[in-house]
Amino acid sequence: MAINYVGQTALITGASSGIGEQFARAFAARGANLILVARRTDRLSTLASEIESKTKSKVTTVTLDLSKPSSSSELVKILAEKNATIDVLINNAGFGTNLRLQNQDLSRIRQEIGLNVTTLTELTASYLPQMIAKNSGTIINIASTAAYQAVPGMSVYAATKAYVLSLTEALWGELRGTNVKALAVSPGATETEFFDVAGGKGANMVPATDVVREALAELDKTGSAPSIIVGSRNRMMATVTKFVSRKSVIALVASMFLKDR
């Protein structure tokens, strides 16, 4: 049975496009009020106006670059000043870089780890206590199929997503016996701006709406899982890697992602 989010507030990072935008539309359709965070003010404003014109949701936007140090603390402070109570946290903001490690800029690496790991962890830790106190809440962390094996050519990105997967599954274990849910969602190549930023080209890309639909379907279950892989093909590939040597898997993935092979 679909969960009713009427009267609840969902905080969504990376909400100006792609998966974040589709989560915003989906939660608004289920009655939630929204707090949308991203760097692009114009995109956020356009999305907020559209959602408010079509639903009863109240939409608040915050323009903020979450890859910067202490940005999570800044966001928490901004929302505290607005007396916002967060019922649903969707840590969607993130990016990857398709380059060999020795060719990557150190400042870019810091931003990638800061956004994909540090900000996600700090926002989760910041809003988890109030969810536990209410014995109600939902945390959705966007991982990736890259979390399931090393990815030569995207080594930092894959490592950050392995962290997200592990953190979220451990959190799910800590939350057993409560009504607070934690779910790691691992999409494969998705029709977003990801590859525009990362470089390279995705294959067999699925719509962002598929990612959101599968995530919400899992959360609607009474005993939802700690993590899901989006798409039957991706689930099959993740299963196959368990029965193949790590050396063979890494070699195969390298043939796909090393641009200068």
**119 token code pair:** 């900000």
pTM, 2 dp: 0.91
State the virtual CA torsion across 153, 196, 182, 56 in degrees, nearest 10.
180
Domains and CATH numbers, the chain: 9-257 (3.40.50.720)
Three-state secondary structure call for residue 57: coil
Q: 139-178, pLDDT tens digit by residue?
A: 999 999 999 999 999 999 999 999 999 999 999 999 999 9
Residue 197 has pLDDT above 90, yes or no: no
Q: What is the pLDDT of residues 68-101, one digit of tens each?
A: 999 999 999 999 999 999 999 999 999 999 999 9
Round to whole Å and give the CA distance between 115 and 56: 31
Q: How far apart are CA 144 and CA 161, in angstroms?
A: 6
State the average pLDDT for the chain: 92
Q: Tokens for 56? A: 């009863």
Angle at 117 between CA 111 and CA 217, to 5 degrees: 125
Confidence at residue 232, expressed as pLDDT on a 0 to 100 scale? 82
Q: Which of 5, 127, 157, 163 is labelled catalytic? A: 157
Residue 195 clears pLDDT 50, i.e. is over it: no
Q: Is 148 a catalytic residue?
A: no
**Token duo for residue 59:** 């939409």
Q: How confident is the model at residue 239 (pLDDT cuts 50, 70, 90)?
A: confident
